[in-house]
Structure 1
């Protein structure tokens, strides 16, 4: 049976993607000289928040996820960011494959909440690999599974994610609201003669600040 090892060597923005997307370059190394015909590769990409420190501003932004800093030893746990997949073409000994990582700015997604709270430093990622390996067998193709212990860590600079999101959503973001909330905001905007929902929300926030 051919053994295969996976190592993340780089994570960078995909320059021509319509939506925000990072590209992870994965080094794939096979044990022995037998060629690998293909690999249907899957990866579970997780965030390991315990692998980095946080400023006070970042800690404030993470309160919704982990609570106050005093509780983080109990509440900070590795969590799923996304699933990714790619097809590795046939190779002998070693090759490289590109793994696409789609990035959303939806604050309802846990990963987006975490990433938005970060100001500097790195994003501590863990890649857990799985999938199917196709090799030559005695009567044709042989099929084996990627071993469960194949994983790799990689720290992505926060600026890469922030620059990517700003490129696709310049000076804007996305917040999901209920239909009744949207209707109420639209009515408030119309009554006040405002140009858009953004101005309506800003006005309401200014009113809250004045009450403090």
Structure 2
């Protein structure tokens, strides 16, 4: 009897900070089922992760911090949309029946990136995520290696606590944040720091804010 391709079902069970990663990285734990009676030799799993921003509520502080992304609150009825976070490819080893796996997702604190702005703008609660899976399953059928595409409608939802992302950034950037500046702007700030004999960049910003009356 010839075995057909496995019909994989994937759920997202948890989000955690990856240990010993060189860069800020989250890991999403997966449970994969649907390969009963099929010997899967490997899976190339392509995952697109989207932020389903419309699937949660926002307090006044959240709305103020997210204004750069979505505009004033009265505009949110048309401007609040889902955001693409990332896309990653994971290679899974052989299994039969089902298995567990982890998707590593490198994260950035660059506030030019929409996802970082969104995560930073939330005080607490959960972040609604959509996982859209595709890729290729390599399996044995009648002793021959076969390949099949993962079904186009293979999806999962997960609500990641905001605290997970904040803990990750606190671990790599304790009590700090990152800003990217153009070279000319940096040179002017550096000159300002030197001429005013300021000890650090926090002192530079505080001095400029006081001068500007903020």
Specify if TM > 0.5.
Answer: yes
Counting only pairs closer than 5 Å after superposition, residues 125-140 of structure 1 correspond to structure 2 as 125-138=129-142, 140=144
Q: Quote how far apart the aligned CAs of 1:197 are.
A: 2.5
Q: Displacement, 1:64?
A: 0.5
Contact 2:35 2:96 in 1 (8 A): no
- Determine helix, strand or coil for the equivalent of 1:92: strand
SS of residue in 2 equivalent to 1:209 = coil
Give the C-alpha shift of residue 139 in structure 1.
6.7
Structure 2: which 5+ runs fail to align?
A: none
* CA positional deviation for 1:202: 1.4
Task: Specify which of 147, 150, 154 is matched with residue 151 of structure 2.
Answer: 147
Equivalent-residue separation in structure 2 for 1:139 and 1:162 (angstroms): 49
2-side partners of 1:81 and 1:100: how far apart?
Answer: 13
Matches within 5 A, 1:1-212: 1-138=5-142, 140-209=144-213
Distance 1:32 1:53 in 2: 40
- Structure 1 stretches of 4+ with a deviation exceeding 6 A read none
Measured after TM superposition, the shift of residue 209 of structure 1 is 2.9
Range with greater deviation from structure 2 (185-194 or 131-140): 131-140
Once residues 211 and 121 of structure 2 are traced to their aligned partners in structure 1, the CA distance between those partners, rounded to angstroms, is: 25
Cα RMSD, aligned residues only: 1.3
Helix, strand or coil: the match of 2:198? coil
- Any idea what SS the aligned residue of 2:37 has? coil
In structure 1, how many angstroms separate the alpha carbons of the residues matched to 2:109 and 2:43? 31
TM-score (norm 2): 0.94
Comparing 101-110 with 84-93, greater Cα deviation is found at 84-93
In 2, the alpha carbon distance for the partners of 1:62 and 1:169 equals 21
Question: Deviations 1:111-149 (Å, cap 9, x if unpaired)?
Answer: 000001000001111110011000113572111111110
What are the Cα deviations for residues 172-199 of structure 1, in whole angstroms up to 9, with x where unaligned?
Answer: 1110001110011011111111112321
Checking the alignment, whether the CA contact within 8 Å between 2:30 and 2:103 is kept in structure 1 is: yes
Q: Would the aligned equivalents of 2:36 and 2:98 in 1 still touch at CA under 8 Å?
A: no
TM-score of the two chains, using structure 1 as the length reference: 0.95
